[in-house]
């Protein structure tokens, strides 16, 4: 099972820092992991310095010291004797976060979502930048989610009709990572684990309804049924592999519930999340690997924008961040 060893907790936005701290401390205790706290503030602009105390030779340093004191106090209110590193940096938040991850080999970032007021979505622009470009898993918390996750959904992709062999290997590995992380968290939290996937018969609409299509209906029906069977078999194989990795005791305890629904994942996964009262969705993000740069998949981004629960987003193996 996946274990976290070196956690980075982002204590912004300040109004929800208690949530991020609580979850980071909980994960740190469950996994016996190191933990570092980071806040990124915007540097003081030249015009702002006019209004600073003239006796303050370094207004940036004064703001950082004050911020560090606030964070330390919040940490000690939850764990009085913890001696943890508290970092305060100036700059663009997602860039400084990723630089910290790369420099110190963090394997999990814990952060509360921005909760912007002007759009009805959980993730703001800074959050999406982080999810697109951070090289390690990111736990993006819904504000107020301080306790255990009671219902977890491992969202996997069992379609392969559009994938090249290399892309399929990346997807299979990513699916296994999603299940490993989901099982690990579920065992620690004593959660109800769901495994969900949406399936489609590639190009069914075109074959069935296309202007130049002359394929008989019964042939199309057999093709769709064959696609369903193949996707079902892939999902069963993933579950079998997870059960073998967990061992008999772990597999009997978890007994995950599987859901294979027909339709587009961008629609069906958010619907499944609501129907099953999911409070944490674990999902992979698909993009270019092995080179600098990352393009989050359209399906993954659509799911992220619609989901109103906490999210653990996993990168494919071989991903390299474009942030230097």
- Look at residue 184 and tell me whether its pLDDT is greater than 70: yes
CA distance 78 to 20: 12
pLDDT band at 52 (very low <50, low <70, confident <90, very high): low
Burial of 241-266, coded b for 16+ CB within 10 Å and e otherwise, reads ebbeebeeebbeebebebbbbeeebb
CA distance 266 to 304: 9
- Look at residue 118 and tell me whether its pLDDT is greater than 60: no
CA distance 292 to 309: 30
Q: What is the pLDDT of residue 78?
A: 94
pLDDT band at 293 (very low <50, low <70, confident <90, very high): very low
Question: What percentage of the chain carries pLDDT values higher than 90?
Answer: 52
Instruction: Report yes or no: 86 and 94 within 8 Å, Cβ to Cβ.
Output: no
Show contacts of 69-78: CB within 8 Å, 24+ apart.
70/14, 71/11, 71/17, 71/37, 71/39, 74/11, 74/17, 74/18, 74/21, 75/21, 75/25, 75/37, 78/18, 78/21, 78/22, 78/25
The CA distances from residue 286 to 53, 122, 226, 247, in Å, are 49, 20, 25, 29
- Look at residue 278 and tell me whether its pLDDT is greater than 50: yes
- Look at residue 54 and tell me whether its pLDDT is greater than 60: no
Q: What is the pLDDT of residue 208?
A: 79
Q: What is the pLDDT of residue 46?
A: 53
The CA distances from residue 113 to 49, 125, 182, 307, in Å, are 30, 10, 20, 12
CA distance 119 to 129: 17
Residue ranges of the chain assigned to CATH 3.40.50.620 = 6-147, 149-324
What pTM does this model have?
Answer: 0.88
CA distance 207 to 300: 26
Span of 178-182, 201-205, 211-215, 235-239 with lowest mean pLDDT: 211-215
- Look at residue 295 and tell me whether its pLDDT is greater than 50: no
pLDDT band at 123 (very low <50, low <70, confident <90, very high): low
Over residues 78-88, mean pLDDT: 92
Q: Under CATH, which architecture does the 6-147 domain have?
A: 3-Layer(aba) Sandwich (3.40)
- Look at residue 134 and tell me whether its pLDDT is greater than 80: yes
| CATH class entry, domain 149-324 | alpha beta
pLDDT band at 296 (very low <50, low <70, confident <90, very high): low
In the structure, how many helices (H) and strands (E) does the chain have? 9, 10
- Look at residue 25 and tell me whether its pLDDT is greater than 70: yes
Span of 134-143, 152-161, 289-298 with lowest mean pLDDT: 289-298
pLDDT band at 50 (very low <50, low <70, confident <90, very high): low
Over residues 91-101, mean pLDDT: 95
Q: What is the pLDDT of residue 146?
A: 86
Q: What is the pLDDT of residue 14?
A: 79
3-state secondary structure of 141: strand
pLDDT band at 53 (very low <50, low <70, confident <90, very high): low
Instruction: Report yes or no: 309 and 152 within 8 Å, Cβ to Cβ.
Output: no
Q: What is the pLDDT of residue 44?
A: 63
274 Cβ contact list (under 8 Å, min separation 6): none
């Amino acid at each position: 099972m996946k274990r976290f060893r070196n956690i980075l907790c982002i204590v912004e936005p300040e109004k929800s820092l208690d949530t991020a701290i609580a979850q980071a401390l909980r994960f740190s205790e469950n996994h016996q992991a190191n933990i570092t706290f980071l806040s990124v503030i915007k540097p003081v602009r030249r015009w702002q310095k006019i209004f600073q105390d003239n006796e303050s030779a370094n207004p940036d340093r004064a703001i950082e010291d004050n911020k560090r004191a606030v964070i330390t106090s919040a940490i000690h209110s939850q764990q009085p004797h913890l001696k943890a590193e508290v970092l305060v940096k100036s700059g663009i938040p997602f860039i400084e976060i990723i630089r910290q991850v790369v420099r110190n080999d963090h394997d999990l970032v814990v952060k509360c979502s921005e909760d912007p007021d002007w759009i009805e979505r959980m993730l703001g622009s800074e959050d999406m930048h982080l999810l697109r470009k951070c090289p390690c898993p990111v736990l993006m918390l819904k504000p107020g989610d301080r306790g255990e996750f009671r219902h977890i959904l491992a969202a996997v992709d069992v379609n392969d009709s559009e994938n090249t062999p290399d892309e399929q290997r990346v997807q299979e590995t990513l699916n296994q990572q999603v299940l490993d992380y989901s099982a690990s968290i579920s065992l620690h939290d004593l959660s109800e684990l769901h495994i969900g996937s949406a399936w489609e018969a590639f190009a069914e609409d075109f074959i069935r309804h296309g202007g130049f299509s002359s394929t008989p209906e019964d042939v199309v029906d057999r093709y769709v049924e064959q696609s369903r069977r193949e996707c079902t078999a892939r999902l069963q194989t993933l579950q079998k592999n997870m059960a073998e990795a967990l061992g008999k005791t772990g597999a009997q305890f978890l007994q995950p519930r599987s859901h294979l629904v027909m339709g587009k994942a961008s629609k069906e996964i958010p619907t499944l999340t609501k129907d099953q009262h999911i409070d944490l969705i674990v999902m992979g993000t698909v993009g270019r690997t092995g080179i600098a740069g990352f393009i989050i998949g359209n399906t993954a981004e659509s799911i992220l924008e619609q989901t109103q629960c906490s999210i653990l987003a996993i990168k494919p193996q071989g991903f390299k961040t474009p942030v230097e």
